[in-house]
Amino acid sequence: MHFTRPRELLLAAVLGFGLTFLAFQTTYESLPSLPTTAGVTLLVLAVVEFVLAFVVRSRIRSHQVVTGVGVARAVVLAKASSLLGALMLGAWLGALAYVAPRADRLTAAADDLPAAIVGAVCAVALLGAALWLEYCCRTPNPRDRDSDRRVTG
């Protein structure tokens, strides 16, 4: 398994942007208004993964027992969440790109603008937390272990 590549995230974001912008162009008049807190679920996932990242990181650094299966599950969660975060960031940016220019003319677009901003911010939080979790699951570099011994020993 390889770690998440930037091109994978970029592809997911572009896909989310394109599909959402196209959907908004064709069906915006018939869509219900976006709830302002629609993206908050992504923030909840981000907080959970951020805390999990510090738990995994501290266990690896303190040489506590960390099972390979547990780390593999955390990496899979991180990879899936980073792709979801990128896809949803693209989707929320697509919504934002559609409603922002129309917010001064359409009341519905003005009402949907805060939801698009909150969703984009929460998607960025999830993307960042997922990449941090993935980074924390890496095996420490042998030089890092030597420097830890010098500092503590």
Structure confidence at residue 60 (pLDDT): 83
Mean pLDDT score, 121-126: 98
pLDDT above 80: residue 10: yes
What are the b/e assignments for 24-41, b being 16+ CB within 10 Å?
A: beeebeeeeebebebbee
* Pair of tokens at residue 28: 């915006």
Structure confidence at residue 71 (pLDDT): 86
Q: What is the pTM of this model?
A: 0.86
Residue of 143, 144, 152 lying closest to 57 (CA atoms): 144
Mean pLDDT score, 37-49: 96
Tens of pLDDT, residues 51-97: 999 999 888 888 787 788 888 899 999 999 999 999 999 999 999 99
